[in-house]
Amino acid sequence: MKDGDKAGLSDRLSPGVILLFAVAGGLSVANIYYAQPLLEVMARDLSISPASIGIVVTVTQIGYALGLIFIVPLGDLLERRRLIVGQAILSSVALIIVSQAPTATVLLVGMVAVGLLAVVVQVLVAFAASLAAPAERGRVVGSVTSGIVIGILLARFVSGVLADLGGWRSVYLASAMLTLLMAALLSRTLPRQEQGSEVPSYPALLRSMLVLFIEEPVLRIRAIIGLLIFATFSTFWTSIVLPLSAPPLLLSHTEVGLLGLAGVAGALAAGGAGRMADQGQGQRTTGISLSLMLVAWIPIVLTRVSLWALIVGVIVLDLAIQAVHVTNQSMIFAVRPEARSRLVAGYMVFYSLGSASGSIASTLVYSWAGWTGVCVLGAALSTLALLFWAATRHVTGAAHSTRHVNSSERGASSRTSEQLVASPSRQAR
Query: What span, in angstroms and rounded, lies between the C-alpha atoms of 232 and 224?
Result: 13
Q: What integer pLDDT is reported at residue 40 of this predicted model?
A: 74
Task: Give the pLDDT of residue 420.
Answer: 41
Residue among 141, 56, 123, 371 at smallest CA distance from 238: 371
Instruction: Residue 149: name the closest of 29, 5, 236, 13 by CA.
Output: 29
With cut-offs at 50, 70 and 90, classify the pLDDT of residue 428.
very low
Mean pLDDT value across residues 244-254: 79
* Average pLDDT over every residue of 111-115: 95
| Per-residue confidence (pLDDT) for residue 407, from 0 to 100 | 40
Model confidence, pTM = 0.77
Amino acid letter for position 428: A
Q: Is residue 9 pLDDT above 90, yes or no?
A: no
Q: Which amino acid is at 38?
A: L
Q: Tell me, what's the pLDDT at 106?
A: 96
Least confident range from 102-106, 146-150, 282-286, 420-424: namely 420-424
Cα 5 to Cα 8, 132, 161, 172, 404: the distances in Å are 5, 12, 45, 39, 21
Please tell me the predicted confidence (pLDDT) of residue 421.
Answer: 43
Which residues, including other chains, have CB under 8 Å from residue 259's CB and lie 6 or more apart?
Answer: 240, 244, 310, 311, 314
88 vs 266, more confident: 88
Classify 335 as helix, strand or coil.
coil
**Residues 6 or more apart in contact with residue 30 via CB below 8 angstroms:** 151, 152, 154, 155, 158, 175
- Region 6-35 average pLDDT: 81
Mean pLDDT of 402-413: 40
Answer whether residue 391 shows pLDDT above 90.
Answer: yes
Check pLDDT > 50 for residue 308.
yes
Residue 11 confidence class, pLDDT cut points 50, 70, 90: low
Asked if pLDDT for residue 419 goes beyond 60, the answer is: no
pLDDT of residue 423: 41
Angle at 173 between CA 168 and CA 179, to 5 degrees: 130
Q: Tell me: the pLDDT tens digits for 360-384?
A: 888 789 889 999 999 999 999 999 9
Q: Is the pLDDT of residue 79 over 50?
A: yes
Close Cβ partners of 29 (under 8 Å, ≥ 6 residues apart)? 118, 121, 148, 151, 152, 155
State yes or no: pLDDT of 125 exceeds 50. Answer: yes
DSSP category for residue 103:
S
Look at residue 60 and tell me whether its pLDDT is greater than 80: yes
Kindly tell me the burial class for residue 51, based on how many C-beta atoms sit within 10 Å of its own C-beta (0-12, 13-18, 19 or more).
exposed
Which pLDDT does position 405 carry in this prediction? Answer: 40
13 phi-psi bin (left φ>0, alpha ψ -120 to 50, beta other): beta
Mean pLDDT of 154-159: 84
Among 247, 219, 210, 258, smallest CA distance to 351 is for 219
**172-186, 267-281, 364-378: segment of lowest average pLDDT:** 267-281
Mean pLDDT of the region 131-152: 85
| 3-class state of residue 94 by DSSP | helix
pLDDT exceeds 50 at position 401: no
pLDDT over 70 percentage in the chain? 85
Asked if residue 229 lies in contact with residue 352, where contact means CB atoms within 8 angstroms, the answer is no
Q: What is the pLDDT of residue 270?
A: 63
Query: What is the per-residue pLDDT across 324-343, written as a single tens digit (0 to 9) for each?
Result: 998 998 899 888 888 888 99
